[in-house]
């Protein structure tokens, strides 16, 4: 996930965070018991990260396209 952030592919990182939100929502990670909404606060935090990363990724698309057109990597 860190490499994808370094490469500034924030929409892909949002997908990873979405997977984390779903896993946390069903308590398959970050919890001692498995169940529906056992760790809803953690899932909500992941969801906020998803929204933020997706917004940053969508906002940076024009900048990335302009840099690619100019030949800058």
Which pLDDT score is estimated for 51?
A: 95
Task: Tell me what pLDDT residue 65 has.
Answer: 64
Residue 34 falls within a domain, yes or no?
A: yes
> How high is the pLDDT of residue 32?
76
Residue 9 is assigned to a structural domain of this protein = yes
- As a whole number, mean pLDDT of residues 16-27 equals 90
Residue 39 lies in a domain: yes
How many CA atoms does the CB half-sphere of 1 hold within 13 Å? 10
Enclosing domain of residue 22? 1-49
CB 34 within 8 A of CB 26: yes
Instruction: Say whether pTM exceeds 0.75.
Output: no
Domain count along the chain: 1
Give per-residue pLDDT as tens, 39-48.
888 889 999 9
| Inter-axis angle of helices 10-25 and 40-70, nearest 10 | 170
């Amino acid at each position: 996930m860190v490499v994808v952030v370094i490469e500034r592919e924030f929409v892909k990182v949002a997908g990873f965070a979405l997977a984390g939100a779903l896993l946390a929502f069903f308590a398959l990670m970050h919890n001692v018991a498995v169940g529906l909404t056992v760790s809803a606060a953690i899932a909500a935090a992941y969801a906020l990260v998803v929204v933020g990363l997706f917004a940053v990724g969508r906002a940076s698309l024009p900048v990335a396209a302009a840099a690619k057109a100019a030949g800058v990597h």
